[in-house]
């Protein structure tokens, strides 16, 4: 099975900050890596697919990069609406297996 290591698990940040979240996989997933945002009591929302493709309607302050086994989600100029938990997800073995990272919770400093 492909293991996911997402870091950090939580981050205390301020509005206007630049945030970087890292996701590492135990073996290559090429670019089958997706990022989601989840707010309390809500379903996850797809932000980025294929490591770096921003979904329609997602603000351009979100960006993704990486390939192989190391990926990053960057949020520039953090806005109040961005305080949430973020998950990476690999779909390399889709449809037989998917794995999510442990999540990164952004908290207000």
Partner 1 sequence: QLQLQESGPGLVKSSETLTLTCNVSGGSVSSSTHYWGWIRQSPGKGLEWIGNSYYTGASYNNPSLKSRLSTSVDTSNNQFSLKLTSVTAADTAVYFCARGQTYSGRPFDYWGQGILVTVSS
Regarding 77 and contact with partner 1 (CB under 8 A), the answer is: no
Residue closer to partner 1, measured from CB, 56 or 60:
56
Q: Tell me how far CA of residue 1 lies from CA of 46, 51, 59, 87, 89, in angstroms.
A: 23, 20, 33, 18, 13
Tell me which stretch binds partner 1 (CB under 8 A): 15-23, 36-44, 68-76.
Answer: 36-44
Residue closer to partner 1, measured from CB, 16 or 43:
43
Residue closer to partner 1, measured from CB, 17 or 63:
63
Residue closer to partner 1, measured from CB, 14 or 94:
94
Least Cβ distance, residue 10 to partner 1 (angstroms): 13
- How many residues comprise the chain? 109
Regarding 31 and contact with partner 1 (CB under 8 A), the answer is: yes
Regarding 98 and contact with partner 1 (CB under 8 A), the answer is: yes
Q: Tell me how far CA of residue 109 lies from CA of 17, 54, 106, in angstroms.
A: 11, 27, 9
């Amino acid at each position: 099975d492909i293991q996911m290591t997402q870091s950090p698990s939580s981050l205390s940040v301020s509005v206007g900050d630049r945030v970087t979240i890292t996701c590492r996989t135990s073996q290559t997933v090429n670019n089958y890596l997706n990022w989601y945002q989840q707010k309390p009591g809500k379903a996850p929302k797809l932000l980025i697919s294929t490591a770096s493709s921003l979904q329609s309607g997602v603000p351009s302050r979100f960006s993704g990069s990486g390939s192989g086994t190391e990926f990053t989600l960057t949020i520039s100029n953090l806005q109040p609406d961005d305080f949430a938990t973020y998950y990476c997800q690999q779909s390399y073995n889709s449809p037989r297996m998917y794995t999510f990272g442990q999540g990164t919770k952004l908290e207000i400093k």
